[in-house]
Amino acid sequence: MQGDLRGDEPLSGYGLLVGDLIGVAVFAASGASAAIAKRLDLFGVAFVGFVAALGGGILRDLVIGSVPPLAFADWRYAVTAVTTSVAVFWLHPQLSRLRRTVLLLDAAGLGLFTVTGTLKALNAGVPPVGACLVGMLTAIGGGLARDLLTGEIPVVLQRDIYAVASLCGAILVTILHAAGLAGPIPTVAAAVLITGVRLLALRRRWSAPVAVP
Amino acid sequence: MQGDLRGDEPLSGYGLLVGDLIGVAVFAASGASAAIAKRLDLFGVAFVGFVAALGGGILRDLVIGSVPPLAFADWRYAVTAVTTSVAVFWLHPQLSRLRRTVLLLDAAGLGLFTVTGTLKALNAGVPPVGACLVGMLTAIGGGLARDLLTGEIPVVLQRDIYAVASLCGAILVTILHAAGLAGPIPTVAAAVLITGVRLLALRRRWSAPVAVP
Amino acid sequence: MQGDLRGDEPLSGYGLLVGDLIGVAVFAASGASAAIAKRLDLFGVAFVGFVAALGGGILRDLVIGSVPPLAFADWRYAVTAVTTSVAVFWLHPQLSRLRRTVLLLDAAGLGLFTVTGTLKALNAGVPPVGACLVGMLTAIGGGLARDLLTGEIPVVLQRDIYAVASLCGAILVTILHAAGLAGPIPTVAAAVLITGVRLLALRRRWSAPVAVP
């Protein structure tokens, strides 16, 4: 039994890390692409990539009092973000052909970051409503910071079902957690669900309403 | 005596909560209005409303080390901000007639947030000068974040006596606190004074000087 | 021996404070100048000066969990930043003749803030890669915030060798620290080196590459 747990935990921890780093790489690529489009230099591209990938997690860790934030405490996060950004800097002409792949990975990152952010907040003792908000901010915070750094009104506030998919997923994770069901399989399912809703919203061009002028 | 205190504290605590939530609602309305003017979608309106209402308090709580910040720890804050923002989203055509009321409530929010922010900083052990700054940041931080999210140079930096009224009030509260006079009546008086100065500045069109070019 | 240490520590502490406050004054002047150019009022000039001078250090202290941040805990920082900003507000027509001096002092501030930021992060237990990033963010964070508040894409992301000089210096300080050589003389030398590289980059017009469109 104990052996089972011991055998399980590192695996799920390792899986979580790999998932997290994939999310970091994808969000770094989105930040780097935005920075290249604004003609920023190599440092600017790496910096915006770093912030897009890790800004949400830094905000989460500050809010739940986990300092220094993971982005500074574990070198693999920063190295993944910066390496990806520099690779995008050199390879970006080829990347335009990968637009669909990037949107798919971005949706996966949204799901992963929402779930890990919500669970970390709940485990740090944040009450349910706050934990849902922290989970969503973990997922959308990096994109918000990316847009502010490149002089844009954040795209997440303007159109599409993006943050709403994240928020619904955070609520689902919080309910699962309250019911004692936040094991690996249900949480992975929640991440997949968020990703699926996001992809469906993209395909069907779902978007949130805009106020009548 | 003890009974008196017991009878008094919940009342003043309840009064403080009601005052705080009125401030949250007013600042959320200002954020939602700015977001609607920028044609953001319903999520964007709710998000900018949330940040305008609670951004200053989140910054305050991070600075004084009170984590998770109240905005995430007490669901009534987030629910008040989001409900108000959604209401403004649907009702905003009628709100233009309420412009005077909104300015009045905004001045009241400025006074309330300054006083509660300054007192919380002092009680957390922040020295006087820092506590005044934290009090002012509590009151103007949300508006700053609202303007950054909607792509504007913060209006509080450009004209009007707004932040200065807050800063003077924060200094007054700090002096009262140092003199051991920071009871309910003096602090409410300080909030009223800030609100009054702000309204007077609006009516008389007082504004801070701009540098000679 | 003990007497030696006692005699040494206040001196080096005092030297560090003076160096820090010079950096604060210089960065406040850069923020105030940017605010004046945007026609902000006196409060806006003082506020942007404060943020440009102390924003990087506030971010550093939040990330390493040192609350309240030094900018709020020690009144000399805020007073230096605000006094300098107000002086620039009144004297700015004469300052244009001081452009070279300001660039020199700004490079000195970059060196000082990088070194103190990196050392504080290391002493707070942040691992090497994270400490380098925190050191660089201490030095460039204020300028980033200044540009965001005045509605510009941060200049540090666009051209010049500025952040890169800071990052290389932070790496050097981290290596010295790991080798047990982070005494006063090597760290001052690192600060001078960062300043020198920055000045050389200015003179030779070195800049980071921009991606091929």
Question: pLDDT tens, position by position, for chain C (213 residues)?
Answer: 333 333 333 335 676 788 789 889 999 998 999 999 889 999 999 999 999 999 999 999 999 999 999 999 999 999 999 999 999 999 887 777 777 777 888 898 899 999 999 999 999 999 999 999 999 999 999 999 999 999 999 989 987 789 999 999 999 999 999 999 888 888 889 999 999 999 999 888 888 888 876
Quote the minimal CA–CA distance from C43 to chain B in Å. Answer: 6
pLDDT score, position C8: 35
Test the C interface: residue of A67, A74, A85 with most C CBs within 10 Å = A67
CA distance A31 to A36: 9
pLDDT score, position C197: 94
In a domain, C213, yes or no: no
At A211, list the tokens: 């106020």
With an 8 Å Cβ cutoff, are B209 and C45 in contact? Answer: no
The total number of structural domains that make up chain B? 1
Chain C positions touching B144 (Cβ under 8 A) are 149
Quote the minimal CA–CA distance from A64 to chain B in Å. Answer: 5
pLDDT score, position A183: 83
Secondary structure class of B210 (helix, strand, coil)? strand
Chain C positions touching B158 (Cβ under 8 A) are 39-41, 44
Q: Which of A35, A42, A72 sits opposite C130 (nearest CB)?
A: A72
At A41, list the tokens: 């230099």
Test the B interface: residue of A157, A158, A198, A210 with most B CBs within 10 Å = A157
pLDDT tens for chain B, 213 residues long, are: 333 333 333 335 676 788 789 889 999 998 999 899 889 999 999 999 999 999 999 999 999 999 999 999 999 999 999 999 999 999 887 777 777 777 888 898 899 999 999 999 999 999 999 999 999 999 999 999 999 999 999 989 987 789 999 999 999 999 999 999 888 888 889 999 999 999 999 888 888 888 876
| A137 to chain B: closest CA residue | B47
Quote the minimal CA–CA distance from C129 to chain B in Å. Answer: 24
* Partner chains of C (3+ C-beta pairs under 8 Å): A, B
With an 8 Å Cβ cutoff, are B211 and C89 in contact? Answer: yes
Helix axes B163-178, B128-149, angle to 10 degrees: 150
- Nearest-10 Cα torsion for A72, A75, A81, A86: 120
In a domain, B213, yes or no: no
CA distance C150 to C130: 29
What single-letter DSSP state applies at residue B124?
A: T
pLDDT score, position C6: 33
pLDDT score, position A213: 65
In a domain, A164, yes or no: yes
In a domain, A209, yes or no: no
* Partner chains of A (3+ C-beta pairs under 8 Å): B, C
Domain that holds residue C20: 2-204
Nearest to B173 by CA among B105, B208, B121, B124: B121
Q: Quick one: how far is CA C178 from the chain centroid?
A: 23
Q: Which of B133, B158, B164 sits opposite C40 (nearest CB)?
A: B158
Q: Which of B35, B62, B148 sits opposite A148 (nearest CB)?
A: B148
CA distance C71 to C69: 5
CA angle C76, C79, C81 (to 5 degrees): 105
At A135, list the tokens: 């989970």
Quote the minimal CA–CA distance from B152 to chain C in Å. Answer: 7
pLDDT score, position A55: 97
Nearest to A54 by CA among A31, A71, A32, A34: A71
Q: How many CA atoms lie within 13 A of B44 on its CB side?
A: 26
Q: What is the DSSP string of B43-106?
A: HHHHHHHHHHHHHHHHHHHHHTT-SS-HHHH-HHHHHHHHHHHHHHHHHHHHHGGGHHHHHHHH
pLDDT score, position C15: 66
Residue for token pair 């540090």: C156
With an 8 Å Cβ cutoff, are A130 and B67 in contact? Answer: no
With an 8 Å Cβ cutoff, are C152 and A148 in contact? Answer: no
Quote the pTM value.
0.91
pLDDT score, position C13: 64
At B102, list the tokens: 């909104």
Chain C positions touching A36 (Cβ under 8 A) are 211
Chain B positions touching C47 (Cβ under 8 A) are 157, 163
Chain A positions touching B39 (Cβ under 8 A) are 158, 210-211
pLDDT score, position C44: 95
With an 8 Å Cβ cutoff, are C41 and B148 in contact? Answer: no
In a domain, A210, yes or no: no
Q: Which of C126, C157, C159 sits opposite A48 (nearest CB)?
A: C157
Quote the minimal CA–CA distance from C75 to chain A in Å. Answer: 24
Chain C positions touching B210 (Cβ under 8 A) are 39-42
CB atoms within 10 A of CB C95: 16
Chain A positions touching B89 (Cβ under 8 A) are 211
CA distance A78 to B37: 38
Q: Which of C42, C75, C148 sits opposite B127 (nearest CB)?
A: C75
pLDDT score, position B15: 66
With an 8 Å Cβ cutoff, are C45 and B211 in contact? Answer: yes
ipTM: 0.88
CA distance C20 to C116: 8
In a domain, A144, yes or no: yes
In a domain, A212, yes or no: no
pLDDT score, position B184: 84
Q: Which residues of chain A have pLDDT under 50?
A: 1-11
In a domain, B212, yes or no: no
